[in-house]
Amino acid sequence: MRRLLLVVTFLLMFGAIWIALTVGAIKGPPANPDSPVRNIFYAHVPSSICSLICFLVLLVVSIGYLYTGRPVLDLVALAAVEVGLLFATVLNATGSIFSRGEWGVWWTPTPRLVTSAILWFLYVAYLILRSSLPGSAQRRARICAVFAIIAFLDVPLVIISARFIPDMHRASFEFTSTWQTAAFVMSMMATVLLAATFIWLRADLLISESKLQEEIVL
């Protein structure tokens, strides 16, 4: 099943890349229409959405852990954080590259960029908290779950800042051809499937490591 998922993911990804670089290429700013910088949109927006989805997964499994106390949910939470941090890093990196190409600056303290940066730091803070807390694994998991639930408050702020607060960035992007729409849809599907696969694989690895450690202790 996972092999099939990976095959479908990479087919969608390579298809999206090919379309985005050929018939679906987005023209650059009026001053430099040949600039490829706007095509980073195909990676930037899917990464943004996936980083938020990973935080949603983190919220759900954290609530589930506090309710049930099942260790597997805590491990899924860790997997979601690690994958979410990856996509949040891509989000902020591609955003900076786009900003430099469009406006000549790498970063500006606008609401959208600030909330996106906070999202990245929250993922990092979770990992730091998890690795530095003393005490039992259950105590650490509970504290991290509570932190994850509180940290989720940044997610609606990211959405609100992107859609409703005036900013130098566009609130939405209009495609000029069906090829561009197809490239975006394919890249979105590929990125979501990739995130799901990464969480699945990482969670399985963490669960296997946990079982191995229990056998060693016994």
Per-residue pLDDT at 147? 95
Six token digits for residue 142: 């509970």
Q: Would residue 157 count as lying in a domain?
A: yes
Q: Among the listed ranges 38-47, 67-76, 96-105, 147-156, which one has the minimum average pLDDT value? A: 96-105
Instruction: Decide: 73 and 172 in contact? Cβ < 8 Å.
Output: no
Number of domains present in the structure of the chain:
1
Per-residue pLDDT at 52? 93
CA 9 to chain centre: 16
Which of 16, 91, 79, 13 shows the shortest CA–CA distance to 52? 91
Per-residue pLDDT at 121? 94
CA–CA separation, 152 vs 157, rounded Å? 9
Which of 100, 86, 95 shows the shortest CA–CA distance to 40? 95
Q: Give the structural domain span for 70.
A: 2-14+47-166+176-217
The single residue listed with the structure tokens 């479908």 is 8
32 falls in which pLDDT band (50, 70, 90)?
Answer: low
- pLDDT above 80 for 166: no
CA–CA separation, 52 vs 29, rounded Å? 28
- pLDDT above 90 for 98: no
Prediction pTM value = 0.88
Per-residue pLDDT at 110? 80
Q: Would residue 88 count as lying in a domain?
A: yes
Residue 173 DSSP class: -
Q: Would residue 35 count as lying in a domain?
A: no
Per-residue pLDDT at 36? 75
